[in-house]
Structures are given as structure tokens and as C-alpha cells.
Structure 1
């Protein structure tokens, strides 16, 4: 079997009373459980499901088929709920399978909801492509996060003809990824050919970027140190300052 790899918002104010505890799942990972007191009694959610209600998707860890399926399902669900509201995709990933990542990428482009992307920690390899794939003007990176881009890698064994076929596929995928980066990260006034050449050179080896460099390179739009307050809350704050 042959696989190609790229190696390694604002939420509404909660009105109900909440308390939080942890449960243990596989590999001793603790997932917080949020308990809400509502007019109909208690409701419990794991923290990721609770964030999903606020249109927040967490994409953490290596990207593989399982992660891809979950992310795609969440994107489709949130679009079906409200197609005009933004979806906030938080990315902290070292990358992973190209095909799994492309499944997420294509869905991000497919849904009609605006996708706002956020890099927390790192967006490396395929993670960087997903960061760049967000809506222009809404691709954010936190100050100490980092981005890494590079070309796809893979391996094949068997007859010489089979190896040649797989090598051709890796080259095709590299060209496709270069074109996607250029499409989303082209700088103002930059000709397409220049953008393709710029990313072609950058993808030759592991290319690391700080938050500032990622913005300059076109992979992100803004560095977020603080999340902006919703309009209602910022208005209240301004009123208090003027009193």
C-alpha cells in the first residue's frame, strides 16, 4: 500500500450555570465535561461538543483519516445548521496524510459558511495548508505559534514500473499543493507565475516561519494577541469607561 504524507472567534456568552469536571478516556487523556443547569434540568457535554455548539472546531494532532472524517462531519453539520454564520477552525497540528488533509481542505472550500482559521501552537505541513485555506482576512495566528511548509514525501516498493508510477503521483501532488498555496497566499500585485515560483522554492525543504513571517508570506492575515470582544460587550465596556 502506498500513501503520500506531508511530514510532520468569537463565541456567544453562555447564559446558563455551568460546572466542569474531567473524565478519563483512552491513553489517560482527560476530556473536560461541562454540566449546564437549564430550565429543563442538567445537560452534560464533553468540552469539544460544547465548543461545537459555539461553531468552534478543534483540529489537534496528526491528520489522518479518522481526524479528517470527524472534521468534515463537523463542517457539514455546522453549515447545515446555519450556512451564513462563520465556522471557527482552530489548528494545532504537525501535519499528516495528504489525502486526509485534502478531504478537509476540499470541504472547507465546499461549504458555504465562511471558515475562520486560527493557528495555535503550530500549523505544520498539511496543517499550514488548512490555515491558509480559511477566508481571506480571517486567517489568524497567535503570537508564539509557528508554521512549517514543505513538499510531500512518500515511499514505494516493488517493480520499477510501479515505483515510477508512484514517483509520478508524488510529483503531481507537489505541483497541485504549490498551486493551492499560491491561490490562497498570493501577495497583492504578485503575478501567478511569481507566486508559484516563490512557493516552489519554499517547499523544497522544511521551511519554518514565525507568526510575523507567516503573515508576511501570505499564509495568515493577522496576529491575534487578544480575541476581540463581541460588539455588545465592547459597547458595554465603552459605556463604563465614559461614565
Structure 2
């Protein structure tokens, strides 16, 4: 994907332009793969660039991510929430864990899913953090921080879906997967993309 190029004819002759640059020019960006410092820093730079260029034009964010770093994902969430540019999100595969939180940064009527895509939400975990060798006080501090972070994520899901914190907490106890139709019913997404709206949404004319 990153090495793909589009051939354009210009006054200088034929030019090979990276396809990501073409999409960026059309205000389309992608979060594909793990949510981490590299993917999120790159995405934030693209979002901030488009916001500074023209904060009245829409942006489309395509997501296919299993999730990852909470702090990096929240950084993207906060940036989107602060932007004036209207951001539409399209889930092309799965928006899981922090991928789902980034999806929720978009307004409810701007969260779309392809027919076979899914969303997964759950409580946060230690991930790769090793607690072996830590003292009881240190473990307690880690648990308190994890609880605080989880409360933040649950509150985001509740606020952005219209559910209560209690309703969300019940669902996020486990890895809860939603089909497109189920995600719409829960308030995670607004509509499924089909042949009737594909061109309008993905074409950026919404």
C-alpha cells in the first residue's frame, strides 16, 4: 500500500506519485494495523495538516485496526474532537479496542461500516506490561491507574453512544464484537455502506 504509486501526466511529463499522497490531497487518511506511536503520530500529522489547510472541508478516515496503545489512541481521539473539520469514519475491516475509540471521535451520524466489518469493545488490560517482581504497593498503583484509564474509556463509549456507564460496563467486561447492524443498534455506528451510498460517502461528498 505504502509503495503503490499513481501515474499522472503533467507539464513535466509522466510522474509517479505515492497513492497515499493522492489520498491526502483528497482529504482521505487511513489507520490500518496496530494503534501505536508510529501510526498515530503519522495520522495526527495528516489530520493537523488538513485542519490547517482548510478546516471547513470534510475528512474521511478509514479504519481497519485491532487496537493497541491507549495513550496513543486517546491522542488521536482528542485531536479529532478538537478539530473543526468534519471527520467521517469508515470501518473497512475491524475497529477493535482503541480502534473503536478512535471511531467514536467522529460524530454519530458520521460513523459508517462496510457490510462485513465489525467493531469490538472491551475493558483495557495491562497488555505487555510485566508486574512480576513489583511490590504490593506498586501493583496497587498499577491497578489504580488501569482502573482510572478504564473509567475514561467507558465514559467515552457511554457519552458517544448514548448508553449509560452501567450499560457499557456490562458489555465491556468481555471482548464484545458487533456486526454492522448490531453496532448501529448499540449506537457505535450510524449506517452500513451499500451500493446506494458508497459513492457519496467514500467519494467525500457527504
> With structure 2 as the length reference, what TM-score do the two structures score?
0.90
| Structure 2 residue matching 1:153: 3-state secondary structure | coil
Matches within 5 A, 1:63-212: 63-154=35-126, 155=129, 156-157=131-132, 158-186=134-162, 195-212=164-181
C-alpha displacement of 1:145: 0.3
Cα distance in 1 between the residues matched to 2:70 and 2:101: 10
RMSD: 1.7
Alignment-derived partner of residue 55 in structure 1: 27
Look at both structures and tell me which one has the larger radius of gyration over its CA atoms.
1
| Structure 1 residue matching 2:199: 3-state secondary structure | coil
Q: Does 1:214 align with 2:183?
A: yes
Would the aligned equivalents of 2:91 and 2:117 in 1 still touch at CA under 8 Å? Answer: yes
What is the total number of aligned residue pairs between the two structures? 196
Cα deviation digits, residues 142-183 of structure 1 (max 9, x gap): 100011110000043411111111100000011110110111
Q: List runs of 5+ in structure 2 lacking aligned partners.
A: none
Matches within 5 A, 1:5-24: none
Cα distance in 1 between the residues matched to 2:171 and 2:200: 36
> With structure 1 as the length reference, what TM-score do the two structures score?
0.77
Would the aligned equivalents of 2:2 and 2:20 in 1 still touch at CA under 8 Å? Answer: no
Would the aligned equivalents of 2:89 and 2:111 in 1 still touch at CA under 8 Å? Answer: yes
Cα distance in 2 between the residues matched to 1:30 and 1:198: 40
C-alpha displacement of 1:195: 1.5
Would the aligned equivalents of 2:2 and 2:18 in 1 still touch at CA under 8 Å? Answer: no
| Structure 1 residue matching 2:22: 3-state secondary structure | helix
Cα distance in 1 between the residues matched to 2:200 and 2:14: 29
Q: List runs of 5+ in structure 1 lacking aligned partners.
A: 1-28, 187-193, 235-243
Structure 1 moving runs of 4+ over 3 Å = 39-43
Cα deviation digits, residues 36-63 of structure 1 (max 9, x gap): 1123433332111111110000100011
